[in-house]
């Protein structure tokens, strides 16, 4: 079997990233769109940690911790907006959230 190189990890991360992009572009349920964004952020983290391994230092790992902090903040604010919107409109479909579209 071929040994596992950085390239393998990059391909897995690219696959996860593309799955997240498909979820964001095609789903109607806002909760699942937010979960797809989490998939994208995980792909970024995997890339950072793989590069950290490649260069033999820890900068990539520290950056991936900052990405996790951002993901937590994004999820909290996004779900707060979702609850506020659901209370007013009784829908969680992306294509029915068109208040600003004239």
Partner 1 sequence: MTPGMTPVATPFFFYFLSALAVISGVLVITRRNAVHSALALIVTLLAVSGLYLMLYAPFVAGVQIIVYAGGIMVLFLFVIMLVNLERTVKERQFNRIWPVGVVAAVALLGLFVSVFVKGKNLFPEPRIPLAEANNTQQVGIMLYGNYMFAFEIASLLLLVAILGAVIMAKKRI
Rule CB under 8 A: which of 25-84 touch partner 1? Answer: 25-29, 31-32, 34-36, 38-39, 42, 45-46, 49-50, 52-59, 61-62, 64-66, 68-77, 79-84
Taking the least distance from each CB to partner 1, the nearer of 2 and 102 is 2
8 binding partner 1? (CB under 8 A):
yes
Helix (H) or strand (E) holding 1: none
Residues 84, 95: Cα–Cα separation, whole Å: 17
Which of 4, 24, 23, 22 has its CA nearest to residue 12? 4
97 binds partner 1 (CB under 8 A): no
Number of Cβ within a 10 Å radius of residue 43: 21
Q: For partner 1, which is the closer residue by CB, 56 or 102?
A: 56
């Amino acid at each position: 079997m071929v040994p596992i190189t950085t390239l393998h990890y990059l391909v897995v991360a690219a696959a996860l990233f593309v799955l997240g992009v498909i979820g964001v572009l095609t789903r109607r349920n806002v909760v699942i769109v937010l979960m797809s964004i989490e998939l994208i952020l995980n792909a970024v983290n995997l890339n950072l940690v793989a590069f950290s391994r490649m260069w033999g230092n820890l900068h990539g790992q520290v950056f991936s911790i900052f990405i996790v902090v951002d993901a937590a903040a994004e999820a909290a604010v996004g779900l707060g907006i979702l609850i506020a919107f659901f209370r007013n409109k009784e829908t969680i479909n992306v294509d029915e959230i068109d208040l600003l579209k004239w």
